[in-house]
Amino acid sequence: MKNTQRHFVDQIIPHRTPKQKGIGQAPVNIALSKYWGKRNVDLNLPTNSSLSVSLPGLGTETHLEWMENQSDEIYLNKTLLKSDNAFAQRTSLFLDLFRPNTQGGFVVNTINSVPTAAGLASSASGYAALALALNDCFQWDLPLKRLSLLARLGSGSASRSLYNGFALWHKGQLDNGMDSYAEKIDQAWPELCIGLLEIDVSEKPISSTQGMQNTVNHCELYAAWPDKAEADLQKIHQAIERKDFQQLGQTSENNALAMHATMIATWPPILYWQPESVAAMHQIWQLRSEGCEVYFTMDAGPNLKLLFLRQDTQTIQDHFPSVKVIHPFSDE
Ligand code: PMV
């Protein structure tokens, strides 16, 4: 596996000679049309394309430095992690792909402004920030599309976190994975709001990688997913171009529920929801029946992300007092 990945990286980066310290910053992203399932596990190649919106102000900042004659030191939110920590091990494995030699190590300082592993996609902003920090540290000067390819190896959804606003991750056709990267969709939607509804921010019971592979291998309904996901992506892309919020909301909510339906229909079943997640869904459907255009999406966790327009902010805050409202396009 390492060889496949290192060979992939060799085709992208010009050299492995570190020049200086590096810094990278990246936002988290929420998929409106989801990625669920890999066609190649080593290269993180997805079975379907996906489309996301980034959340500015929430994400990861990573500082990186190469040090000769010492092993990796990984700090998460200012705490030095033990070398057997899962986050530290995953980070070091990724850094193996870029190491100039085996004698030295990277000092990595990662600050996350979202809870780690809570279904809020901290791995997406994390690996995008790390790819940017590597680009800075080695002075590769790579374009974002190439960095998207590198970030993808750390976490699939990280390929989309190189961009603000909407991003589209092309699943690609090639076996070598060189055409599976994300691009920015050049459309702003200033009225669009995302509401983060945190139900439970503790560590999730099953990782998204494990969850999606169990689904691919042990769910008969999964066969219908890739085509549906592609069709949904087209509808959402069109909704963005036409600023058709109803189409965006309906398709996103339905896409998320279809993804979760494949998980629930897996054996053994995968259910990320908590009773409070379902209660929040009912509240959203009730609000909608009263005329408020609010929809939701969910990832590999119990938390909900609400989709609504700026004009409905007060209603949403009245009904969900704990909601954190994000304006993805406030600065564009
Ligand atoms: O990038 P990963 O391996 O953490 O997978 C992310 C999967 C979902 O968040 C559920 C969907 C998506 O497209 O972000």
Closest ligand 1 atom to 209 CA: 3
**Whether the CB of 35 sits within 6 Å of ligand 1:** yes
Q: Please state the φ and ψ torsions of residue 109, each to the nearest 5 degrees.
A: -115, 110
Residue 46 scores a pLDDT above 50 = yes
Ligand 1 mutation pick, 47, 208, 272, max ligand atoms within 8 A of CB: 208
Q: Please state the φ and ψ torsions of residue 171, each to the nearest 5 degrees.
A: -65, -30
Question: Is residue 52 within 8 Å of 194, Cβ to Cβ?
Answer: no
User: What mean pLDDT comes out for the span 76-91?
Assistant: 95
Residue 204: predicted pLDDT: 75
Residue 177: predicted pLDDT: 98
Tokens of 35: 């990625």
E-only strand ranges, 140-284? 166-169, 182-185, 192-197
**Strand bridging mode 166-169 / 105-112:** unpaired
Decide: helix, strand or coil at residue 128: helix
The full set of domains in the chain, from first to last, is 2-184 (3.30.230.10), 195-326 (3.30.70.890)
Closest ligand 1 atom to 300 CA: 10
Q: Tens digits of per-residue pLDDT, 220-276?
A: 999 999 999 999 999 999 999 999 999 999 999 999 999 999 999 999 999 999 999
Helix or strand run (H / E) with residue 65: strand 50-67
Closest ligand 1 atom to 156 CA: 1
Q: Tens digits of per-residue pLDDT, 131-165?
A: 999 999 999 999 999 999 999 999 999 999 999 99
User: What mean pLDDT comes out for the span 168-176?
Assistant: 97
Cα of 30 vs centre of ligand 1, distance in Å, is 9
Ligand 1 atom 9 nearest Cα: 299
User: For the chain, what is the total number of helices (H) and then of strands (E)?
Assistant: 9, 13
**Whether the CB of 297 sits within 6 Å of ligand 1:** no
Burial string for 294-313 (b: 16+ CB within 10 Å, else e) reads bbbbbbbbbbbbbbbbeebe
Q: What percent of the chain has pLDDT over 70?
A: 97
**Whether the CB of 155 sits within 6 Å of ligand 1:** yes
Q: What percent of the chain has pLDDT over 90?
A: 88
- C-alpha R_g of the chain: 20
**Whether the CB of 164 sits within 6 Å of ligand 1:** no
**Whether the CB of 31 sits within 6 Å of ligand 1:** yes
Query: What span, in angstroms and rounded, lies between the C-alpha atoms of 265 and 260?
Result: 9
Residue 36 scores a pLDDT above 90 = yes
Q: Tens digits of per-residue pLDDT, 91-139?
A: 999 999 999 998 999 999 999 987 554 456 688 999 999 999 999 999 9
Q: Please state, in angstroms and as integers, the Cα–Cα distance from residue 252 to each residue in 1, 68, 211, 259, 272, following that order.
A: 34, 48, 20, 11, 18
Query: What span, in angstroms and rounded, lies between the C-alpha atoms of 168 and 237?
Result: 9
Provide the 8-state DSSP code for 199.
Answer: S
The pTM assigned to this predicted structure is 0.96
Decide: helix, strand or coil at residue 132: helix
Tokens of 45: 């190649």
Decide: helix, strand or coil at residue 284: helix
Q: Which residue has the tokens 């030095």?
A: 80
**Whether the CB of 125 sits within 6 Å of ligand 1:** no
Provide the 8-state DSSP code for 257.
Answer: H
Closest ligand 1 atom to 33 CA: 13
**Whether the CB of 157 sits within 6 Å of ligand 1:** yes
Burial string for 230-265 (b: 16+ CB within 10 Å, else e) reads eebbebbbebbeeeebeebbbbbbebbebbbebbee
Ligand 1 mutation pick, 299, 303, 304, max ligand atoms within 8 A of CB: 299
**Whether the CB of 34 sits within 6 Å of ligand 1:** yes
Ligand 1 mutation pick, 45, 48, 157, 270, max ligand atoms within 8 A of CB: 157
Q: Tens digits of per-residue pLDDT, 186-207?
A: 999 999 999 999 998 777 789 8
